[in-house]
Homo-oligomer: A and B are copies of this chain.
């Protein structure tokens, strides 16, 4: 695979990701993407035969990039509270501050009309997040895995719910208020 091809594929995914974030699965079209990338829509089909292929690729890449950025939850030099705060801050900076909802929330809303490859990639992404959070919460009570799992669910629900509230009401203050119970003193 040539550099050019990788480049074009990445550009296509970049635009697709942005359009999905802005309007969901229904709001990105091969023509819109083609125009922004500077090719024709048939060429987008060359790289990603169907809409589902492209959306699934975007979701998979998103998960990979996301995973790579997460610190090792068992790194003893890192305070678990610092990691949780970082997780919240990252979400806020990337999503809430841009007056958007996350790629995964957008695709979740479109679940009913998602090709299977996309909803599988979507479920995988949530699994990655929950597993990481569980590891972090276990740092507080290493013996209580079940409790850590429940905490990770509550934490993630709060985060996503907070972004819904902010987006629906245009009131950014709701974010910190919703997350305040999870923000604890750290180093």
Q: A residues within 8 Å of B by Cβ?
A: 22-24, 26-27, 101, 104-113, 122-123, 125-127, 149-150, 153-154, 156-162, 164-165, 167-170, 174, 177-178, 180-181
Q: A158-B161, A161-B159, A165-B126 are in contact. Are A109 and B105 (CB under 8 A)?
A: yes
With most chain B CB atoms within 10 A of its CB, the pick from A108, A126, A127, A150 is A108
Is the beta-carbon distance between A157 and B168 smaller than 8 angstroms? no
Residues of B with C-beta under 8 A to A127:
169
B161 x A157 contact (CB < 8 A): yes
Point out the residues of chain B lying under 8 angstroms from A178, CB to CB: 153-154, 157
Closest beta carbon of chain B to A178's beta carbon, Å: 4
